[in-house]
Amino acid sequence: MSQPMQRINISRFGGIEVLHTESAPIPQPQAGEILIKTAYAGVNRPDIMQREGKYPLPEGVTPIMGLELAGEVAALGAGVNGFAVGDQVCALTDGGAYAQYCAVKAAQALPLPDGYSLAEAAMLPETLFTVWANVFMDGQMREGETLLVHGGTSGIGITALAIARALGIRTVATVGNAEKMRVVEQYGAIAVNYKTDDFAQAVKQHGGADGILDVVGGSYFAQNLECLNKDGRIFLIGFMGGNIAPEVNLLKIAVKRARITGSTMRERNSDEKAAIAHSLRERVLPLLANGSIAKPHLHRVYPWTEVATAHAEMDKGTHIGKVLLDFTQG
């Protein structure tokens, strides 16, 4: 495949004006990789942070944005088993999904769940890998417990609510307006408007939280501790409210026997991501296929040539669910 492809890059760090398209050679899959012809790519918060220069890249990964996609297998690298040219797949990438073709480690690719379109499948990888690994994979949350999800209508938030509901875990979700409250209620959550209510007090009125999935970080930490039950867990995966928690009462962590963990998906090594993918195949894909886990919520699909508009939509922070880039045209 020596002919060029089109991809999206940035000329420097900054606003949407730094985004541009360019020609580049189609990548060749290395050993253990598959080459995917991109149909749809997800637009995620780390893409925005990378564009702004706030998301340092792990060593050795492509600077091209895009952490998830769905499409058709176009070629196989040496030693790849379980996939064939022409298969429809979705995948967590190490970067590079903002392109017409992307080489991906085969161990990070998943078959499309039964009943899913390519667009629907493109909304799965980044949120599934992140939420499953941090909150559910090793029994972090158990049936009958209560999970508080901040950013309830984000892609991460909706995925967490959908999986928790399927596993018999009660959920409370913080959101910022009445429309978003209705959406999280559709996924089985108790909705709390953080703009009008003290979320910690609201959660305590519902029995407190055994686990908290937090994409906000520093500015929420004290309130998280306030509404966390004894032996509760806080899963830190985002820092939209800063990475410094002011005036933290460390004694409260000890008294509540709180367990606090944090991770970013991109920093995990290939073996870790492969283990997560294996667990998803075994335990989550069947629940997606039979409808036990509700499908993701699609906010909007943009032609890939309108990536700046898609990023502007993400910058506003008012979207509900996932934003996709469509590579099937042009």
Per-residue pLDDT tens digits for 51-66: 999 888 888 889 999 9
Q: Which segments of 96-196 does DSSP mark as H helices, in order? A: 118-122, 125-131, 155-166, 178-186
* Residue 285, pLDDT above cutoff 70: yes
Considering the domain architecture, whether residues 81 and 147 belong to the same structural domain is answered as no
Describe the crossing of helices 45-52 and 307-316 by its angle, rounded to 10 degrees. Answer: 100
Res 198: pLDDT = 95
Is the distance from CB of 105 to CB of 32 less than 8 angstroms? yes
> Does 58 lie in the same domain as 132?
no
Is 286 domain-assigned? no
Q: Are residues 31 and 160 in the same domain?
A: no
Note the pTM of the prediction, 2 decimals.
Answer: 0.93
Assess whether 174 and 99 both reside in one domain. Answer: no
Higher pLDDT, 214 or 241: 214
Distances in Å between the Cα of 130 and the Cα atoms of 78, 204, 228, 246, 324 are 28, 26, 22, 26, 18
Chain centroid to Cα 259, Å, comes to: 22
CATH assignment at residue 142: 3.40.50.720
Check whether residue 112 and residue 140 sit in a common domain. no
Q: What is the pLDDT of residues 6-46, one digit of tens each?
A: 999 999 999 999 999 999 999 999 999 999 999 999 999 99
Q: How far apart are CA 145 and CA 213, in angstroms?
A: 13
Range 142-146 average pLDDT? 96
The DSSP bridge pattern shows strands 228-236 and 259-262 to be: parallel
Cα separation, 184 vs 190, in Å, equals 7
Give the residue-averaged pLDDT of 81-102: 97
Domain coverage including residue 8: 4-124+296-326
Mean pLDDT over residues 236-247, rounded?
A: 82
Q: Is residue 9 part of a domain?
A: yes
* pLDDT tens digits, 100-110: 999 999 999 99
Last residue of a domain, which of 242, 265, 288?
265
Query: What pLDDT was estimated at residue 219?
Result: 87
Which of 96-105, 236-245, 313-322 shows the lowest per-residue confidence on average (mean pLDDT)? 236-245
Residue 148 shares a structural domain with residue 179: yes
Residue 273 lies in a domain: no
In a domain, 271, yes or no: no
Number of structural domains in the chain: 2
Q: Is 131 in contact with 154 (CB distance < 8 Å)? A: no
Same domain assignment for residues 256 and 315: no
pLDDT at residue 218 in the model: 80
**146 with 106, same domain?**
no
For position 2, what pLDDT does the model report? Answer: 56
Q: Is residue 8 part of a domain?
A: yes
- Asked, for residue 23, whether it belongs to a domain, the answer is yes
Question: pLDDT, tens digit, for every residue of 187-237?
Answer: 999 999 999 999 999 999 999 999 999 988 888 899 999 999 999 999 999
Structural domain contains residue 274: no
Percent of the chain with pLDDT over 70: 99
* Residue % of the chain over a pLDDT of 90: 86
Whether the CB-CB separation of 82 and 108 falls below 8 Å is answered with: no
The reply to whether 132 and 261 lie within a common domain is yes
Residues 80 and 198 in one domain: no
Position 159 confidence tier, pLDDT thresholds 50, 70, 90: very high
The more confidently predicted of residues 102 and 249 is 102
My answer on whether 200 and 313 are in the same domain is: no
Statement to judge: residues 171 and 42 lie in one domain: no
* Domain of residue 322, CATH code: 3.90.180.10
Which of 245, 265, 285 is the C-terminal boundary of a domain? 265
Q: Assess if residue 147 is contained within a domain.
A: yes
- Name the maximum alpha-carbon separation found in the chain: 62
pLDDT of residue 329: 85
